[in-house]
Amino acid sequence: VKKRTTIKDVAEYTGVSTATVSYVLNGKVSENISESTINRVMAACKQLNYIPNLSARSLSLSSKRSNLVGIVIPQTEDGEEFMFDNPYYGEFLSRAEYIARKKGYDVLISGRDANRSYLNIATQRGLDGIVIIGIYPDDNISELKYLGLPIVMCDSYGIGSYFNCVGTNDRYAGYMATKYLLDKGHKRVALVSGQEKVDGVNYYRFIGYKDALEEHNIEFDERIVYEGYIDHKYGIEAGKKIIDANLGVTAVFATADILAVGVMKGMQEEGIKIPEEISIIGFDDIYLASICTPSLTTVRQHIGEKGSTVMELLLDAIEDEPTSKRDIIIPVDIVERNSVKEIK
């Protein structure tokens, strides 16, 4: 209920004008301010507990910074309600927020919302830039282009060549994962993934899966690809289905760890031993992969690094305006743990 201290209060207290206060606060060396004034203003700020109002600042002379960036996070695929059930996003956000904070930016988060465009959120809040994770077919990206706001897309496909991107070579990674299984002697490798149509990431991992099969002269069999949702529940379901279907599957590639762990669980509940009877490889390397039993062999995509890279790229784009479009592919590797067995 306290009236906040404004620059005006500081000015009056010091006996100078608001302009002068503003100068010293912003370190405008161009304007030559005397030592003594600077000290007096500083003292007054301390004294009065002055905290600048960033909304006001971002308003004054247009094109001023707000020091606010947005991160838009996907919802789970089946609804609007949750976004962080997959710890992937938590790990990502953790690093991204840290980078932003250290450079003096605050972070606004938002789930995707059908009723509110990216443009809307960016404009309303005067965001300096925005990170968009994943991409949906109905996203209106072009209006963002029009806005001229620094944007970094993460794990997004099919958005043309306009925006900065950070991502993974998902096709190659999918290939690697599948090949790893094949090289271990498996011939019947099932795929468990999210909606391939909806999500570029899953689609390309799927293509990579096919690449590997083809390379090994193994016929693609649609009956052993399970396409559902990226969550633990669906993993369990898929695991059970695979067992019930009894189509000779000896290994499965799940396109997300959270899915892979579910598959393991589902199979274990059916009395299957992993990796003795069925091998599983995941994708992401969330910390969960090292925790579960057996620990999960998976494609590590350095989530934390992805988060920090995304934010660094965004802040770069914000601070030195004329950067050319950049693409960064974060390399992946396979972490061998205990969920895959060599056969034959």
Partner DNA sequence: TTGAAAGCGCTAACAG
Partner DNA sequence: CTGTTAGCGCTTTCAA
Question: Helix or strand or coil: residue 323?
Answer: coil
In the block, residue with structure tokens 């004034």 = 37
Smaller CB separation from a second copy, 195 or 295: 295
Residue 53 in the binding site for DNA (CB under 7 A) = yes
Residue 172 in the binding site for a second copy (CB under 8 A) = no
Residue 322 in the binding site for a second copy (CB under 8 A) = no
Residue 19 in the binding site for DNA (CB under 7 A) = yes
- H or E segment to which residue 131 belongs: strand 129-133
**Cβ 42 to DNA shortest distance, Å:** 12
Among 2, 13, 20, 223, binds DNA (CB under 7 A): 20
Smaller CB separation from DNA, 33 or 343: 33
Cβ atoms of 322 and 341 within 8 Å: the answer is: no
Residue 39 in the binding site for DNA (CB under 7 A) = no
**Cβ 140 to DNA shortest distance, Å:** 20
Indicate the length of the chain as a whole number: 344
Cβ atoms of 332 and 301 within 8 Å: the answer is: yes
Question: What's the rounded Cα separation, in Å, for the pair 151 and 313?
Answer: 9
Here the tokens at position 287 are: 């910390």
Instruction: Kindly tell me the burial class for residue 35, based on how many C-beta atoms sit within 10 Å of its own C-beta (0-12, 13-18, 19 or more).
Output: exposed
Among 31, 270, 287, 319, binds a second copy (CB under 8 A): 287
Here the tokens at position 54 are: 């960033």
Stretch that binds DNA, among 8-16, 285-293, 309-317, 325-333 (CB under 7 A): 8-16
Residue 1 in the binding site for a second copy (CB under 8 A) = yes
- Cα dihedral 153/154/160/164 (nearest 10): 50
Residue 47 in the binding site for DNA (CB under 7 A) = no
Contacts of range 119-125, beta carbons closer than 8 Å, 24 or more positions apart: 119/143, 119/144, 119/147, 121/70, 121/72, 122/70, 122/147, 122/149, 123/147, 125/66, 125/68, 125/70
Residue 291 in the binding site for a second copy (CB under 8 A) = yes
Residue 149 in the binding site for DNA (CB under 7 A) = no
Among 42, 90, 207, 211, binds a second copy (CB under 8 A): 90
Residue 121 in the binding site for DNA (CB under 7 A) = no
Residue 25 in the binding site for a second copy (CB under 8 A) = no
Among 33, 42, 77, 94, binds a second copy (CB under 8 A): 94
Among 25, 42, 48, 121, binds a second copy (CB under 8 A): 121
Q: 304-317 burial, b if ≥16 CB within 10 A, otherwise e?
A: eebbbbbbbbbbbb
Question: What's the rounded Cα separation, in Å, for the pair 290 and 282?
Answer: 11
What is the Rg, in whole angstroms, of the alpha carbon atoms belonging to the chain? Answer: 26
Residue 29 in the binding site for DNA (CB under 7 A) = no
Residue 215 in the binding site for a second copy (CB under 8 A) = no
* Stretch 64-103: interaction string toward DNA, x if CB under 7 A: x---------------------------------------
Smaller CB separation from a second copy, 119 or 249: 119
Amino acid at 243: I
Question: What's the rounded Cα separation, in Å, for the pair 303 and 93?
Answer: 9
Question: What's the rounded Cα separation, in Å, for the pair 129 and 313?
Answer: 10
**Cβ 34 to a second copy shortest distance, Å:** 28
**Cβ 142 to DNA shortest distance, Å:** 22
Can you give the binding site for DNA, defined by CB under 7 A?
Answer: 3-4, 6-8, 15-20, 22-23, 25-26, 28, 31-34, 36-37, 52-53, 56-57, 59-62, 64
